[in-house]
Amino acid sequence: MTERSQARAGDLLELVRSGRATTRGALQQATGLSRATVGQRLDRLFRAGWLREGAGGPVDSPLGGRPSITLEFDDEHAVVLAGDLDTRHARAAVLSLTGEIVAEHTGPLAVEDGPEAVLGELGGWFAQLLEKAGRPAEAVCGIGLAVPGPVDSESGRVVQPPIMPGWDGYDIRARLAGAFGDRTGAGPVPVLVDNDANLMAYGEQRAGYPDSSAFVLVKVSTGIGAGVVVDGSIYRGIDGGAGDIGHIRVGSDALCRCGSHGCLAAVASGGAVARRLREAGLPAASGADVRDLLAAGHPEALGLAREAGRQVGDVLATVVTLLNPGVLMIAGDLAGTAFLTGVRELLYQRALPRSTAHLEVVTSRLGERAGLVGAGALVVEYLYAPQRVEERLRAMGV
């Protein structure tokens, strides 16, 4: 038996979902399985409700003969809940299995209030959003959550976060799954927790740069963080600490929220720019206020954003030299022309020409929704990975 002929139901679903094979004939050709075996495996996927016949009608078969019925992933059989916590506000959404936002809410929510209060409030938002979307709690197949701190993705726990007091080691997964999954009687739904910059990078790479094999996103809001996607997967490092560039010491007396002095985030983040604007007598409490001043073309804010961009660009020269990415995306409250100009000035001056020859430096496409889209996509990829499809079908008795 050849390797190709061992394709499982999950492998067939993967071929259909990715659009690489969408008819029985194309699946036979891609897998080397017989028509009867393809039929048996597809039958399991139909019975699970994960596959449906396409609305477009029959198409020509690659094997010749009668036209074939097209197959497609049934993206309505379940929904995903996604949350994105920033330091002072949060977003929550119900997403379809193909990543469309079905219902969305955003509001003030401070991570410093601790996990009990924050996750309790978020759970309430999720319940209201499901009602708005007209879907029962039983339709939820998984939950994705972006948090502004380092995460151990195995356990879903936040690890020694510099700016999330009370969250260190807290069992986020148990708290959220307990509120949703047990109602189905099928056990708790999976809850995947990851760093916000990681999930933004994942969402942006999949949505806009699916062919980029080395993608870096830098989020500059109240803090600074980076997410790295290599060969389509988030690169987290061994302790989930990869990309936490905001606390690299760049040398200065400025006090950082983490308690140290001279971190990059203490001199070049939205929070740092807001502080300098306040010192100049302007009303700016957070990165979001700086964003508003930048949008209004305020000269003092533009000058400080460009200077912050230069300081971040200096650190990014090292990042780009180490990773040689194809795309460097700047996202967050400060991401705009002034900041980008500063980044480019220092980046191209300090990095080796070979590291930047084919580099695209761009701004966000998904904007404030990037974290939600990334969280939703991570849950779907987890649940419909071929091996997990097999396990889930067996658990369903299909």
Q: CB nearer to Zn ion: give 106 or 260.
A: 260
Binding marks (x or -) toward Zn ion, 143..182, rule CB under 5 A? ----------------------------------------
Match 């980044």 to its residue by tokens. 343
State which of positions 301-360 bind Zn ion (CB under 5 A).
Answer: none
* 8 alpha carbon, distance to own chain's centre: 28
Closest alpha carbon to 102 in 83, 129, 62: 129
Distance CA 52, CA 50 (A): 7
Min. distance of Cβ 256 from Zn ion in angstroms? 3
Residue 264: name the closest of 234, 307, 321 by CA. 307
Q: Kind of pairing, strands 151-152 and 157-158?
A: antiparallel
Which one of the spans 53-61, 126-134, 247-255, 293-301 is the region binding Zn ion (CB under 5 A)?
247-255
Exactly one of 91, 173, 247, 310 binds Zn ion (CB under 5 A); that residue is 247
Chain centre to alpha carbon of residue 114: 22
Query: For Zn ion, which is the closer residue by CB, 250 or 288?
Result: 250
Q: Rounded to the nearest whole angstrom, what is the least distance from the CB of residue 129 to Zn ion in the complex? A: 34
Q: Name which of 155 and 260 has its Cβ closer to Zn ion.
A: 260
Beta strands in 221-279 (DSSP E): 224-230, 233-234
Q: What is the nearest approach in angstroms of Zn ion to the Cβ of residue 223?
A: 8
Nearer of residues 263 and 305 to Zn ion, judged by Cβ? 263
> Per CB under 5 A, does 254 bind Zn ion?
no
Nearer to Zn ion, 260 or 341 (CB): 260
**Contact window for Zn ion (CB under 5 A) among 50-58, 76-84, 241-249, 354-362:** 241-249
Tokens 């306040």: give the residue. 278
Cβ 255 to Zn ion, closest distance in Å? 9
Per DSSP, the residues of 81-150 read: EEEEE-SSEEEEEEE-TTS-EEEEEEEE--GGG-HHHHHHHHHHHHHHHHHHHT--GGGEEEEEEEESS-
CA angle, 223 then 343 then 295, to 5° = 65
Give Cα separations from 355 to 118, 184, 319 (angstroms).
Answer: 42, 51, 10
Of the listed pieces 105-113, 243-251, 284-292, 331-339, which binds Zn ion according to CB under 5 A?
A: 243-251
Instruction: Determine the Cα angle at 201 with ends 197 and 207, to 5°.
Output: 145
**Total residues at the site for Zn ion (CB under 5 A)?**
5
What minimum distance in Å lies between the beta carbon of 228 and Zn ion? 20
The nearer residue to Zn ion, 33 or 268, going by C-beta atoms, is 268
Query: φ and ψ at 204, to 5 degrees?
Result: -70, -40
Site string for Zn ion, 255-284 (x = CB under 5 A): -x-x-x--x---------------------
Dihedrals φ, ψ of 51, to 5°?
-130, 150
Which residues of the chain form contacts with Zn ion (CB under 5 A)?
247, 256, 258, 260, 263
